[in-house]
Amino acid sequence: MDSEDDMLDAHDMDSGDDDFYSGGTDDDSDDDGQAFEGFAEEDGDDSTLFTSRRSQINYVVLKEEDIHRRQKDDIGRVSMVLSISHVEASILLLHYHWIVSKVDDEWFADEGRVRRTVGILEGPVVPTPDGRELKCGICFESYPLEDIVSVSCGHPFCTSCWTGYLHTTISDGPGCLMLKCPEPACLAAVGQDMFDKLSSKEDKEKYYRYFLRSYVEDNRKMKWCPAPGCEHAIDFDAGSGSYDVSCFCSHSFCWNCTEEAHRPVDCDTVAKWILKNSAESENMNWILANSKPCPKCKRPIEKNHGCMHMTCTSPCKYEFCWLCLNAWTEHGERTGGFYACNRYEAARQEGLYDEAEKRREMAKNSLERYTHYYERWASNQQSRQKAMGDLQKMQSERLGRLSDIQCTPESQLKFIADAWLQIVECRRVLKWTYAYGYYLSDHAKRQFFEYLQGEAESGLERLHKCVEKEIEVFQTAEDPSNDFNNFRSKLVGLTSITKTYFENLVKALENGLADVDSLAASSKSTNSKASSKTKGGGKGKGSSKNGGSSRNPDDN
């Protein structure tokens, strides 16, 4: 489309409240956490930046209190169904990774085996003593019965030794959740009641932190948000299509690989791209493209002067010619002078340097190609970060002023936030399309990809310019402007059409640019039929009824 007016005419002027890349419903869910897609909005002032943007609700963001509630509900359910205590239910759920159905199945299949496996014994395995004192199995001191504690197995240990034992295992990490009796070879489990009774306040806090985290980390459907300092978890429905999720902290990431959200690029491509950005391979490419090895010590040397006389650094100090790599002492008038070397050209004509030059040229081309895609990848990331900052600044500082100037309620200025949100999302998508393009080798698909990418990028630039530059007239005005409604219509239209461009781009890349394959197959089929008709003497163009060729009167 050639102009912004064409773009506006190409799409209806809806408010842009639709989801980013789908056409479903905007259902909400209050089950434990808040159902959340795209950018989220938390209670209070924590994150009024973002609102829910995609339609298909395929995950729930859980706060710490939500996790506690779910954990407590699961423990209560198992306790009630199996008629066991909450402590025993916790031990079972920890062993079976918080899968309630598996606990039920295993218990009712063979209760005795499960009890032995997890350490929930039905009675003591040591005889009950008759005396008033018992000897501790760790320190071997005798204590009154009230100072001796044991778990279901009955092995006696004093409270002091128990406290030290619990403290040591808690300090060692989450392994304390699966703690067994201190008696060697005893498999009796140590439950929460022991920690509650004998551990210090600090140790109990650590224990219950491990206990809470195990509910997420042992569950294949849950993961913690990878953003630094975030304590929220994601409960994900693995049966849905997209893996991109967004936390209440506004961090968007891929649930599958936990890298930042990268739809429509797959996780393998993202892993390769991140590795390439951080690996030494590009440094080696730069060395190959811009340096040559010293003929004596083989260290790479970069040419930083115009002449061909090179001197290696200490301690080598070897002097050689940059072109032919021979000793500089062999250069003189008979070889073409000190600043020209015909030996290289002669050797090149003989094919002595073809392989080295070919490697250097390939390295240079590879480096240039990588630089092309990386610069655009990084630039869109910077633009996305800037757009997020501009959105926050607009909502916290400028929206109220604009509302006052234009005498318009802030609720009716939502179209501006929608435009910024669309920009943020589109910059993210556009960024990852450059990683996609770097690994795209099919020439026909590359042309189609670059066309779609160019259309999307062009639309995004128009939208970004409109919401960033053209809005300034209305933000700095002193009185309401009659043109503000026209600006509203234009911005809503640009938001909508940009969304459409990126929908097409995302769908095409997720389908592997299958339209190119379909077009090629269709073309091949058409050519095959045409060839078949020609070979068979059919009534094709240029053939007569009697099988001879008919001549077009205009063909002269």
pLDDT of residue 255: 86
Residues contacting 139, CB < 8 A, separation 6+? 158, 160, 161
Tokens standing for residue 107: 């218990």
Please tell me the distance from the alpha carbon of residue 284 to that of residue 276, in angstroms, as a whole number: 12
Active site residue 307: yes
> At residue 402, does pLDDT exceed 60?
yes
pLDDT of residue 199: 93
Q: Hey, what domains does the chain have and what are their CATH numbers?
A: 75-219 (3.30.40.10), 282-343+359-518 (1.20.120.1750)
Average pLDDT rounded to a whole number, residues 179-199: 93
What DSSP designation does 550 have?
P
The pTM (predicted TM-score) of the whole model is 0.65
**Residues 10, 468 contacting (CB under 8 angstroms):** no
> Regarding beta strands 34-35 and 309-311, do their DSSP bridges make them parallel or antiparallel, or are they unpaired?
unpaired
Please tell me the distance from the alpha carbon of residue 163 to that of residue 197, in angstroms, as a whole number: 9
Label residue 526 by pLDDT band (50, 70, 90): low
Average pLDDT rounded to a whole number, residues 51-79: 82
Amino acid at 57: I
> At residue 16, does pLDDT exceed 60?
no
> At residue 190, does pLDDT exceed 80?
yes
Amino acid at 210: Y
> At residue 368, does pLDDT exceed 50?
yes
Strand ranges across the sheet with 233-236: 34-35, 59-62, 233-236, 222-224
Q: Among the ranges 306-320, 329-343, 453-467, 519-533, which has the highest mean pLDDT value?
A: 453-467
What DSSP designation does 310 have?
E
Check 307, 341, 426, 466 and give the catalytic one: 307
User: If we measure between CA atoms, which residue out of 261, 251, 249, 260 comes closest to residue 48?
Assistant: 249
Residues contacting 507, CB < 8 A, separation 6+? 21, 264
Average pLDDT rounded to a whole number, residues 451-470: 89
Q: Report how far apart the first and last C-alpha atoms of the chain are (Å, whole number).
A: 40
Q: Among the ranges 81-95, 114-128, 244-258, which has the highest mean pLDDT value?
A: 81-95
> Could you give the percent of the chain with pLDDT greater than 70?
74
pLDDT of residue 57: 61
Q: Say which range, 166-175, 275-284, 491-500, 534-543, has the weakest mean pLDDT.
A: 534-543
DSSP states along 209-254: HHHHHHHHHT-TTEEE--STT---EEEE-TTSS--EEE-TTS-EEE
Q: Say which range, 143-152, 301-310, 328-337, 355-364, has the weakest mean pLDDT.
A: 328-337
Bridge partners for 402 per DSSP: none
Helices (H) and strands (E) in the chain, counts: 18, 14
Chain centroid, CA 414 distance in Å: 28
> At residue 549, does pLDDT exceed 80?
no
Residues contacting 147, CB < 8 A, separation 6+? 158, 159
- Phi and psi at residue 272, to the nearest 5°: -65, -40
- Render pLDDT for 229-284 as a digit per residue (tens, 0 to 9): 899 999 988 766 678 888 888 888 888 888 888 988 999 999 999 888 876 566 65
Label residue 533 by pLDDT band (50, 70, 90): low
- What region, left, alpha or beta, does residue 140 occupy, with left being phi > 0 and alpha being psi -120 to 50 degrees? left
Pick the residue with more confidence: 292 or 495? 495
What DSSP designation does 16 have?
S
Block residue for tokens 């000793």? 327
